[in-house]
Amino acid sequence: MSAKDRWYQHVPEFTAVIPCEGDEHRVRWRWGKFKVDDHDLGSERAMLVLGAEPCECLRALQLWADQFGMRPEQFEVMRRRVGPWAVLMPKALDIPRDVGMAISLERAWRKSRYLDMQGRLLEKQVRDKALPALRAHLTAAKQEFGARTIRTAQVKHVAAGQAVRIEGRMDSVSASATVALSSDWIVHVWGRGIAVVDGALVVEAEGSDPVRVRAVRWRAAAREAGVAEPAIVDATVARTADGWSLRE
């Protein structure tokens, strides 16, 4: 990423509605910030100083801030533990929440603040989000090359900053691939909604209009006839009327 880029610049804005003071109020996430649209925060906080109870929107704002200071195992069961307040954690904001938590866990893992718990949660988070994308990519690739089935699709978790790697093999019978990704993939690729574009698995992304990416394509193996191998190529991804389009 360039020095001027920030991780949140390329994550789309999300808006949700929550119950507040007998009505429905809008909350939204934009450019890394959780915002409440239907309140004057200065006035609301002045009322708190005078002893008033916080409204639901302020509770939602506090829950958003608190979640990134939780221990990893607490975040795993957060919605269950907050009970009736779970309505103040709308699922419509799950993408920026997961992106923010990936960043938070990566920083904590680096500092060994919670031993290795955050490493295991990061591994699960990367695998849960990347495995469906890898399988979608393999499904598209095997149709192109005539393979009949997906034999193996594996995602390995590595620390942020490590190089993306992919190994695999495809022939007329089956396709197999193993890809190594970090939380960077969640933040810069999955968070933008460009995990798979035109059948290609996007593994790295930066910039915008168009987005510069590195994506997985399959090429005929040089030493074995009828076999294809994965290669990571430079490309760009741009918005179209139908979504996203990839160009090498």
Q: For 209-237, write each residue's pLDDT tens digit.
A: 789 999 999 999 888 888 999 999 999 99
For 45-87, write each residue's pLDDT tens digit: 777 777 778 888 888 888 888 887 776 667 667 767 766 777 7
Q: How far is CA 124 from CA 71, 107, 160, 193, in A?
A: 16, 16, 15, 19
CB 170 within 8 A of CB 153: no
